[in-house]
Chain A
Amino acid sequence: MSDQDKDKKTDWRDWVRESDDPARAFTKPEALDNLTVLDCSYANMAGCFATSILAEFGAEVIRIEPPDGDPVRSYSPWGFMNKGTGLGYLNEGRNKFHVTLNLQKPEGRQVFSKLAKTADIVVETFLPGVMDEWEIGYRQLSGFNPRLIYCAIYTYGQFGPMAACGKADADVVNQAYSGITSITGERPEDPEHPKPSEVPTRQGNWMGWYAGGAWASAAMLVALHHRVNSGKGQFIDVSPGEAFGRCINYGLTYYQGFKDVLPRLGNWDPGVFPYTYFRCKDGYAFLAGFSDINWEALCTILNRPDLRAQFPTIFDRLNPDNMGTMYKEIEKWTLARTYDEIYDAVMAYNKTGGKGVVVPGKVSAPIDTMKTENWWERHALQRVNDPHYGETIIANQAWKMTASPPRVKWVCRPVGADNEHIYGMKLGLGPKQLATMKENGLL
């Protein structure tokens, strides 16, 4: 690369950082601050993540919880609580107003109907037909608010043979239904007697719910654009199981073509090899060298021209029987080195301008991820002092934007903390009326 090109690169980075550094997000407008969202998600993090996205972009999100709080507030590792709120929810309460309302009672539903008259979006995660039975479903609400966008989230969706099955929605079930769990996990050494840890394996996080929430927010923003063009709202049905399932590399077409399903190969990829994690002296390192030219580069770094000669084509390297041999040989080299030594050796090769590229990476424990400066510099991780919950560490959305960036304004609120503010502002209800509502078990 010429000096001139290097200057251009530095110039580009400086320009981008100047234009999108999240440190300056608060000087810029918010993309969705013209929207009011009613979120009555119940025991479901897909709904909560969907409205977090809208709230991070500036929407006024009103979380509607039952009088004793959404049970989702109890979802927390080993039951760890911060002032009565579990950590899963504490992480997704961001920028939302928190009110209580008893939708089990007709009077509560009337209050909800009034709020929905001027709302732009409703998100709900009850079993299909529950809101409709309560007469606060899309059919009823759209009658007096045709611009309303209504998103219902449920594992089996709002129609189809399983929609009325009555099963609950849970993250692990969304993951199992998606098809992805079946191809994630270690390959049994003895297929007849797999060990308990050689079984289909879910993602460690709530990936089914997060995929569902992401798709729901995508769909709502698509519907919003249609509303700008047509003035019309609409009804949206999102299944988190399908949402995660859409992320599969190749499920259905593989079965269609070969009347077979793909095996679980642990950290090996049936379409790219080597492309995997190796043990090293002080942890685990990722290395890849799949295409002929990158395989050559990897074998050069390892000083193993014999390996290159033994497995010369991608067809040799994609044979699962050969994968084990290659893996063991490469691991001999990684096991003799620390991660940093591996990284340096690979990057030194890449800089020589030799053939191909080998891409190294570190398998990081999240506790080490949290100690890595890059993520703080980029505001991927951020410390936020919350007036109620105290000091927190949260992850920010990854979008860095020049004109209307997302941001976190507050982390969470206790159950019902915004009743006075929201009911006063939206419905003109004062302290006396709220006290009566509370006596009647509505708040």
Chain B
Amino acid sequence: MAKEDYFKWAESVLDPSMAFEKPEALADIKVVELATLILGPSLPAIMAEMGATVFKVELPGAGDTMRSLTPLARFHNEAALGWLKEARNKYHLAVDVHHEEGKKLFKELVKRSDVVVENVRAGTMDRWGLGYRQLKEINPRLIYIALSGFGQWGTFVERPSYDAIAQAESGMAWITGFPDKLPLKSGIWLADYFGALMGMVGVMAALAHRDRTGEGQFIEMSQAENMIRALDWTWLWQHYSGKGRERHGNRDVSICPSDIFPCKDNMMAIAAATEVQFRGLCTAMGKPELCEDPRFKTHAARLEEENAVVLLDVIRSWSAGKSSAEIDKLAGEYGFAAHKVCDGKDHFEDEHLIKRNFTCTVDDLVYGEIVEEGIVPKFSETPGRIKWAGRPVGFDNEYVLKRFLGLSAEQIQFLKDHNIIGKWVDNPPGRKPPASWDGKSGIKLG
């Protein structure tokens, strides 16, 4: 069949603008989150995109510290940008779980739910009477995931951790950056986001097990160990060579050519690994003879240090005289890989990413129009979607307690009066609704 026909078909079955006309894959799944910062809360955010009902439980008042995390102290419509990434599609509940009545509410939610996600210090939930051992008694089908820096047991169990420590202790930072500089921390909270994503995969595998057997289970995940798993050939190389893996800037020493080169107007990632891709690149550079040169003819030969250095220099000289658009066009024509180093502006304006709903505009009842990173996988039957951007602290208390727990107005009033549930404070920023809010939009059953 013709390719044009294929692309038409693919768009017709995947078009994100049709998402709301289709079912959601995790519509039957409920998740209770008792987590802070990024590693924990980003996991249910992904499940919420796929249709899960997520109850985020935070403390009344200031709530999750994440509501403060924003670059250069700049908030967008009074919301912290870091928080927006993980607030989508969740019900935001503020319950004081230190209080016995708060614990009861938490357990009532868990009874009706499928998954619990937490990232407090190892053993804390158990000490509070809200750990897996207690919760499985009231919900044997429960899948419970505890995320942390170093896991629930072992030599490092007492150590507190952060994303940057997982990047550091795994070796990820050591192999990133240039030899003449310090080991480099990623520009993102890599171990947190990638940890949450892999944690979600673990939960989904446990769900597959439960779908077959009816049995729930406990999962623990260390974000540092998850970084270790992601370091591709590091461990085998060190084992066989006896040498440590170091950092090599943007050059990939296991694929040649693969590097980031300056071009006229930008920095350009260029790679050509297979023989077809390499032939394409050489032809595009007007140097088809390179493919016949014994130094470059096979990938094995190109990977040898002295040959790699020569070849990368040839490409560097060539790219310096071209614009990113010219190289991009040639890459398409000749079938090698190339893309300029993109930033937020590029994504904001990228028609391709807009069409694919990666660059996604959410029209939110509380925070207004938010442009944010959207849904990654495109599904033909059960597309993911963003329904709302996030909610202030305790915003959904009444709705959740009424609809999911069946509490009466009097019972809810009692909980408020005794500070077991509560709402936002005005300070620190990022907790309360923005000044533009009309006092009623977004309140469900209001």
Residue pair A29, B209 in contact (C-beta under 8 Å): yes
Contact assessment for A184 and B187 in the assembled complex, using a CB-CB cutoff below 8 Å: yes
Please choose the segment from B161-169, B288-296, B414-422 that sits at the chain A interface, where 4 or more of its residues have CB less than 8 A away. B161-169
Q: Which residues of B contact A25 (CB under 8 A)?
A: none
Report the stretch among A106-114, A171-179, A421-429, A430-438 that lies at the interface. A171-179
**Stretch from B99-107, B267-275, B393-401, B403-411 forming part of the interface with A:** B267-275
* Contact segment of B89-97, B222-230, B432-440: B222-230
B442 at the A/B interface (Cβ < 8 Å)?
no
Inter-chain CA distance A74–B297, complex, in Å, is: 13
Residues of B within 8 A of A (CB-CB), count: 188
User: Which B1-23 residues have a C-beta within 8 angstroms of A?
Assistant: 1-3, 6-7, 9-11, 13-15, 23
Which chain A residues in 221-241 approach chain B with CB under 8 Å?
Answer: 221-226, 228-230, 232, 234-239, 241
Given contacts A128-B10, A236-B378, A247-B197, contact A164 B228 (CB under 8 A): no
Q: Report B246-260 residues with CB < 8 Å from chain A CB.
A: 246-250, 252-255, 258-260
* 8 A Cβ contacts from A36-69 to B: 43, 45, 53, 57
Any chain B CB within 8 A of the CB of A295? Answer: no
Task: Identify B206's interface contact among A14, A31, A252, CB under 8 A.
Answer: A31
Question: Given the complex, which residues of B lie within 8 Å of A369, measured CB to CB?
Answer: 169-171, 228
Flag A83-94 by CB within 8 Å of B: 1 or 0 each.
Answer: 000111011000
The reply to whether B171 and A366 contact each other, CB–CB distance below 8 Å, is yes
Q: For A395, what are the chain B residues with a Cβ–Cβ distance below 8 Å? A: 225, 228-229, 231, 235
B384 to chain A, nearest CB (A): 8
Query: How far apart sit A199 and B173, CA to CA, in the bound complex (Å)?
Result: 16
Q: A88-B232, A226-B381, A288-B164 in contact; A367/B238 too (CB < 8 A)?
A: yes
Decide yes or no: A357 and B160 within 8 Å by CB, A155-B337, A201-B249, A252-B372 being known contacts: yes
Chain A residues whose CB sits within 8 angstroms of the CB of B377 once the complex forms: 215-216, 218-219, 222, 236-238
B268 contacts across to A, CB distance below 8 A: 176
Q: Which of A95-103, A297-305, A370-378 contacts B (4 or more CB under 8 A)?
A: A370-378
Partner of A249, one of B2, B162, B189, B194: B189
CA of A35 to CA of B252 in the docked complex: distance in angstroms? 35
- Prevailing SS type, chain B contact patch: mixed
Chain B, range 201-222, C-beta contacts under 8 Å to A: 201-202, 204-209, 211-213, 215-222
Across the interface, which residues of B come within 8 angstroms of A366, CB to CB? 170-171, 174-175, 231, 234-235, 238, 244-245
- CB of B151 within 8 Å of the partner chain: yes
Asked if A183 is an interface residue, CB under 8 A from chain B, the answer is yes
Cα A319 to Cα B157 with chains together (Å): 34
Nearest Cβ on chain B to A26's Cβ, whole angstroms: 16
Whether A397 and B229, one on each chain, are in contact in the complex, defined by CB atoms closer than 8 angstroms, is yes
Complex contacts, B193 vs chain A, CB 8 Å: 246-247
Which residue of chain A has the shortest Cβ distance to B74 in the bound complex? A258
Contacts of B345 in A (CB 8 A): 255, 261
> Which of B25, B180, B193 is most buried by chain A, counting CB atoms within 10 A of its CB?
B25
Contacts of A214 in B (CB 8 A): 194, 197-198, 201
Residue A27 interfacial (CB < 8 Å): no
CA distance in complex: A288, B37 (Å): 15
- Report the minimum CB–CB distance from B114 to chain A (whole Å): 11
Contact A218 B46 (CB under 8 A): yes
Nearest Cβ on chain A to B198's Cβ, whole angstroms: 6
B98 proximal to A (CB < 8 A): no
Is A157 engaged at the interface, CB distance under 8 Å to the other chain?
Answer: yes
Q: Are A242 and B353 in contact (CB under 8 A)?
A: yes
Known: A199-B250, A279-B182. A179 touches B236 (CB 8 A): no
Within 245-270 of A, Cβ neighbours of B (below 8 Å) are at 245-258, 261-262, 264-267, 269-270
Question: Out of A164, A236, A245, which one reaches B380, CB within 8 Å?
Answer: A236
Chain A residues within an 8 Å CB radius of B179: 197
Query: Chain A 355-391, CB within 8 Å of chain B: the 1/0 string?
Result: 0010101111111111011110110110000000001
Report yes or no: B237 in contact with A87, Cβ–Cβ below 8 A.
Answer: yes
- Interface pair A129/B7, CB less than 8 Å apart: yes
Chain B neighbourhood of A397, CB < 8 A: 198, 226, 229
Residues of B close to A90: CB separation below 8 A = 233, 236
What's the Cα separation between A398 and B126 when bound, in Å? 21
Given A91-B236, A218-B201, A247-B193, also A175-B72 (CB < 8 A): no
In the complex, the chain A residue whose C-beta lies closest to that of B144 is A402
What's the nearest-Cβ distance from chain A to residue B255, in Å?
5
Q: A87-B236, A159-B15, A399-B202 are in contact. Are A359 and B162 (CB under 8 A)?
A: yes
A147 to chain B, nearest CB (A): 12
Whether B271 and A205, one on each chain, are in contact in the complex, defined by CB atoms closer than 8 angstroms, is no
Q: Which residues of A sit under 8 angstroms from B14, Cβ to Cβ? A: 158-159, 235, 237
CA–CA, A233 and B243, complex, Å: 47
A119 and B429 CA atoms in complex are apart in Å by 52
A43-B274 contact given A167-B337, A214-B194, A215-B197, CB 8 Å threshold:
yes
A241: chain B residues at CB < 8 Å are 339
Expressed in whole angstroms, the minimum distance between the Cβ of A331 and any Cβ of chain B is: 11
- Chain B 320-360, CB within 8 Å of chain A: the 1/0 string? 00000000100111011111111111111001110110111
B269 to chain A, nearest CB (A): 4
List, in ascending order, chain A residues with CB within 8 A of B333's CB.
Answer: 166
Q: Which listed residue (B28, B74, B246, B378) contacts A157, Cβ 8 A? A: B378
Residues of A contacting B441 in the complex (Cβ-Cβ under 8 angstroms): none
Are B228 and A250 in contact, CB atoms less than 8 angstroms apart?
no
Complex CA–CA separation, A6 to B411 (angstroms): 36
Nearest Cβ in chain A — how far from B432, in angstroms? 18
CB-based nearest B residue for A204: B175
Nearest-Cβ distance from residue B155 to partner chain A, whole angstroms: 4
Which residues of chain B have C-beta atoms less than 8 A from A183's C-beta?
A: 187-188, 343
A133 → chain B closest CB, angstroms: 6
Chain B positions within 8 Å of A173 at CB level:
269-271, 337-339
Q: Is the CB of B229 within 8 A of A398?
A: yes
Q: Which 3 A-B pairs have the closest CB atoms?
A: A366-B171, A367-B244, A361-B165
A-B contacts, 23 listed (Cβ < 8 Å) = A75-B254, A75-B273, A158-B10, A158-B378, A166-B331, A170-B272, A178-B342, A184-B187, A201-B184, A211-B197, A232-B381, A248-B373, A250-B71, A252-B372, A258-B76, A267-B184, A267-B185, A277-B164, A286-B165, A361-B169, A364-B169, A378-B225, A398-B198
Given A169-B337, A207-B230, 4 more pairs with CB closer than 8 A: A13-B153, A200-B260, A222-B26, A378-B154
